[in-house]
Amino acid sequence: MSSIIPDVIDHLAGIRPGSSLDRLRDQRPQARENAQKSYLALFQPEFPGDVTALERYAVATFVAGLHRQPHLVDFYAADLQTLGSSEISAALQAEIARGSVEGPYGRYPLGPLTIEKVEGPEYRVSAEHKDRLGPRLTAVLEHAHLLVFHPRDASPAALQKLLDAGWTTTDIVTLSQLVSFLSFQIRVVAGLRAVAGASAAAPIDAEFTQILTGVLASGTV
Partner 1 sequence: MPKITLSYPDNREPAAFTQGELGWLPWLEPFLVEELTETHWAGLVDASRAKSPYFLLLARDPDVLQARTKTDKDIFYNTSSGLPRAERELAATATSRANGCIFCASVHSRFATQYSKRKDDVQRLLDEGVGTDIDRRWNALIAASVALTNTPIAFDHRQVEALRAAGLDDLEIVDVINGAAFFNWANRLMLSLGEPTPPAKARAVG
Among residues 84 and 118, whose Cβ is nearest to partner 1? 118
Binding-site member from 82, 170, 209, 210 for partner 1 (CB under 8 A): 170
**DSSP letter string, 50-81:** T--HHHHHHHHHHHHHHTT-HHHHHHHHHHHH
Among residues 42 and 60, whose Cβ is nearest to partner 1? 42
Is 25 among the residues that bind partner 1 (CB under 8 A)?
yes
Is 186 among the residues that bind partner 1 (CB under 8 A)?
yes
Binding-site member from 14, 121, 173, 215 for partner 1 (CB under 8 A): 173
Is 172 among the residues that bind partner 1 (CB under 8 A)?
yes
CA 34, 38, 39, 44 dihedral sign is positive
| Alpha-carbon distance values, 4 to 16, 59, 96, 189 (Å) | 16, 21, 28, 19
Q: How far apart are CA 95 and CA 123, in angstroms?
A: 10
Phi, psi angles (nearest 5°) of residue 191:
-65, -45
Q: Which of residues 79-138 bind partner 1 (CB under 8 A)?
A: 102-104, 106, 108-113, 116
Cα maximum dimension of the chain: 76
Binding-site member from 90, 198, 215, 216 for partner 1 (CB under 8 A): 198
Give how many residues touch partner 1 by CB under 8 A.
78
Binding-site member from 74, 90, 122, 202 for partner 1 (CB under 8 A): 202
